[in-house]
Structure 1
Amino acid sequence: MTKKLTEQKSEEGVTPAMERQDGKLEEEKVFKDPVHRYIHVRDELIWELIGTKEFQRLRRIRQLGTTFLTFHGAEHTRFNHSLGVYEVMRRMVENLEKKGAWDEEERLVCLASALLHDVGHGPFSHSFEKVFHMDHEKWTREIILGDTEINQVLRQMSPDVPEKVADVIAKTYDNKLLVSLISSQIDADRMDYLLRDAFYTGVSYGQFDMERILRVMRPEEDQAVFKHSGMHAVEDYIMSRYQMYWQVYFHPVTRSAEVILSKILHRARELLAENYPFKITPIHFKSMFNGEVTLKDYLKLDESIILYYFQAWEEEDDPILSDLCQRFMNRRLFKYVECNPSKQMLIWPELQQLFKKIGLNPDYYLVIDSSSDLPYDFYRPGEKDERLPIHLLMPDGRLRELSRESDVVEAISGKKRTDHKLYFPEDFLSDQTTFAKEKQKILSLLTNQEG
């Protein structure tokens, strides 16, 4: 029986990365996975990275933030997703290796980058980032390069490996093919999250033929391309992504929960700045609120910590913080109406005044939220956030941009869709025992927003 690597700890608490000359485990490790069936780990480096405390922290961060309040099955974590991205990448590498795409060290850098690409995510992910103006990719690089178990494991392979993995995450690595497999319009990250999120939310939109896409993938100097014969599988992937964004990721109920989550954190920051006497002081947030957060502080945060404070703050004396926390914890979310930006500009001052008159702070109870997505884009050199297009490998060896061959993709290429919602507490407005006239006026103005 192979002795578990986790029992072979060094003095620093991290297993030596290269105990075997070939860097392989004596026995393959397998994770049972509902999406890919099995996730195979054959390299000691990958196994040890999974065992680090920074990677294990991802078990305590949901993949889809507040989406569990809309789709009750969406309880899966960044840990699940990161293993899935690794597995998709492992299959990509296995296919491309046969075509001489790279050497052994490049292979391990690629697999490690796939595994660690989300290790810098904070609790509730993108909602958390917006409040604190943070970038999870920046934190991912800091974890990889900082005083962490992950850094120790990577350095035991080679002193320059942490820098290489960080460069892949930053999209500055010399091997552009490798970067494209992790971050492009069709990559291991997107393939896993579409399939995984569709599975856990119980929808069919995110399904596509990943096996077919991997079979028709071919390496080029700067990116992977796809045989023309596999175009329909790629089309299906693009449309699946489009549908998932509008049916799941931008679901208005999820966005309502995100609005409340954001407002709770804003309120806590405001109260802390005013020296409000918290019953439960947000010690975990202090460095984040004052902009002096350290890597150690950041790694202490996960969703169990956030929810502990939210539950405790239900009993706070501040009525806004207490109400918002009760709403989030008990799923009493804000109502929403479609918002016409041009109309909103005309009535916004009046709405704010009416909210103040009935005792509701519009900064916390009247919120515009906008979502937008560009499902596929062709190459726009020099533009901000330019995207490398997906190329098809034609039978005669030429490369053709996908939308020039696919009528389906051409129909949505370069077309950014934006959706605006106005969120408010309908329950407060429905109680017309006080300020009935003003509340009726508010409801009338909000109803007119939908026109």
Structure 2
Amino acid sequence: MAYRDQQLKEEKVFKDPVHRYIHVRDQVIWDLIGTREFQRLRRIKQLGTTFLTFHGAEHSRFSHSLGVYEIVRRILTNFQGREHWNPDQRLLCLAAALLHDLGHGPFSHSFEKVFKLDHEDYTKAIILGGTEINAVLRRVEQGFPEKVAEVINKTYEDKLVVSLISSQIDADRMDYLLRDAYFTGVSYGHFDMERILRVMRPLEDQMVVKQSGMHAVEDYIMSRYQMYWQVYFHPVSRSAEVILTKILHRVKELHEAGYLFKHEPKHFLSFFAGKVSLVDYINLDENIVMYYFQAWINEEDEILADLCDRFTNRRLFQYVEFSPDRQIKESIELYQLFEQIGLNPEYYLVDDSSSDLPYDFYRPGEEGERLPIHLLTPKGDLLELSRASDIVESISGKKRTDHKLYYPADLIERLPDHQPEKVRIKELLGIG
């Protein structure tokens, strides 16, 4: 029997708090889960710094990846025997679902911004490089690793396959909404996934949903909207992310200035140089990053030591609503005042913005264009979701942006009450 068709003698299951059980029958999938590169995802948190706001949010990219695999497995079970579905694509869909987040680094997006990296590039590099993952995929057939990479990169020729893990209603989003809601303890992210899976249908180039399932999809869209503003963009989590980002900036700045670290950042050297090998990337996880942060609390550099202590022991920055575009004069004055009181504004006065577009209709030619969700009518016609749903129409194409200014309230309060700089800073920040 060909490797791609090999089944385990006995089905393996993972007990999962979201999906109850995750089922594995394919030898290929079981072998992929056992690779070094996939096991590394146990050491990368799904929600980055959010655990400092919602203490239960300690779940990993590993559990999320298994969840996405399981949702795709269930979708494909429902697709069996339906027109437009090619069963030969089954293993490709399962492998792409399992491996879609393979390239995430420690504290994902903050890390990427500082070092100008893209996790999707590293996902592709791991799949196509000299890795255990690649060795498993190459056993399936010639060119199979390339096909998996193309699906994840959204360039694969069969757009139906791509839409399973990358569209406005896909297995990736469905799992992270349910999983993140579960582990943060909030109610916003819950929706009837089982109903959505039952009414999904394959077409030539995309997944569609039967019109009878529209209300379940509405619930899904609103769950996503609420989760972004109540969890993903929570200002306390953003405060932790601001400090994390500034730590990495400070370490890089000190290294370039020739600073002699008590604890040399060996694992970061190739990142500072912009010459990150695949081995270096895979070897860095959140356990190692946190080890350095704790060690750097004892550094001579006061800024680095303070920021690491803040992140490690959750002494986060406070925040106020602040729009740098509309409050340019106040921003400049605050910058100068912070310099006068001996606080480096590059590290202690940080504006941060968050924005989200919960659902969008099709805008041909626009950068990052999104294929809309289509409803399949009883007559077999396609109806774009926002044209049928007043709820979705009300938020379609509407981007919401939130601006905050972060600062160390404790250091401001330590200044003498009569000090004019303190008085003026508090006036500008609008704090008592």
Is the CA contact (8 Å cut-off) linking 1:358 and 1:435 kept in structure 2?
no
Are the aligned partners of 1:225 and 1:391 in contact in 2 as well (CA < 8 Å)? yes
CA-CA distance at 1:105 after TM superposition: 4.0
Aligned pairs for 1:325-336 (under 5 A) are 325-336=308-319
The whole-number CA distance in structure 2 between the counterparts of 1:20 and 1:296 is: 28
| Separation in 2, partners of 1:426, 1:405 | 48
Per the alignment, residue 242 of structure 1 pairs with 225
Contact 1:374/1:415 (CA < 8 Å) preserved in 2?
Answer: yes
Match of 1:142 in 2: 125
CA contact (8 A) 2:61 2:101 kept: yes
Q: Which runs of 5+ in 2 are unaligned?
A: none
Moved more, 344-353 or 315-324: 344-353
Is 2:140 the counterpart of 1:195?
no
Question: TM-score, normalization: structure 2?
Answer: 0.98
State which of 393, 405, 413 in structure 2 corresponds to 1:422: 405
1:34 and 2:17 matched: yes
The CA distance in 1 between the partners of 2:115 and 2:418, in whole Å, is: 36
Counterpart of 2:365 in structure 1 is: 382
Q: 2:242 aligns with which of 259, 266, 274?
A: 259
CA positional deviation for 1:432: 2.2
Q: Look up the SS of the partner of 2:267 in the other structure.
A: coil
**Is 1:402 the equivalent of 2:385?**
yes
Describe how 1:220-235 pairs up with structure 2 within 5 A.
220-235=203-218
RMSD, aligned α-carbons: 1.4
Cα displacement string for residues 194-233 of structure 1 (whole angstroms, at most 9, x for unaligned residues) = 0000000000000000000000001111110111100000
CA distance in 2, matches of 1:327, 1:435: 27
Instruction: State the match for 1:413 in structure 2.
Output: 396
Cα deviation, 1:268-292, whole Å, max 9, x if unaligned, reads 0000001100000001001001100
Q: CA deviation at 1:102?
A: 4.1
2:80 to 85, 88, 97: 97
- Pairing partner for 1:175 from 143, 158, 161: 158
Where does residue 5 of structure 1 map in the other structure?
A: none
Alpha-carbon distance, 1:172 to partner: 0.4
Tell me the number of residue pairs that the alignment of Structure 1 and Structure 2 aligns.
Answer: 432
| 2:366 aligned counterpart, secondary structure | coil
Equivalent in 217, 223, 227 of residue 200 of structure 2: 217
Asked if 1:133 corresponds to 2:116, the answer is yes
Q: Name the structure 2 match of 1:350.
A: 333
Q: 1:290 pairs with 273, 294, 304, which one?
A: 273
Distance in 2 between the 1:46 and 1:338 partners?
Answer: 47
Amino acid at match of 1:59: R
Once the two structures are TM-superposed, the CA of residue 135 in structure 1 deviates from its matched residue by 0.8
Moved more, 434-443 or 272-281: 434-443
**TM-score, with structure 1 as normaliser:** 0.94
Residue 439 (structure 1) shift: 1.2
Q: Aligned letter for 1:432? A: L
| Aligned twin of 1:445 | 428
Structure-2 residue corresponding to 1:106: 89
Moved over 3 A (4+): 18-22, 100-105
Is the contact between residue 324 and residue 331 of structure 2 (CA under 8 Å) also seen in structure 1? no
Deviations 1:110-132 (A, max 9, x none): 00000000010000111111111
Question: C-alpha distance in 2, partners of 1:113/1:21?
Answer: 14
Q: Deviations over 1:81-128 (max 9, x none)?
A: 000000001001111123154445411010000000001000011111
The one-letter code sitting in structure 1 at the alignment partner of 2:35 is: T
Map of 1:152 onto structure 2: 135
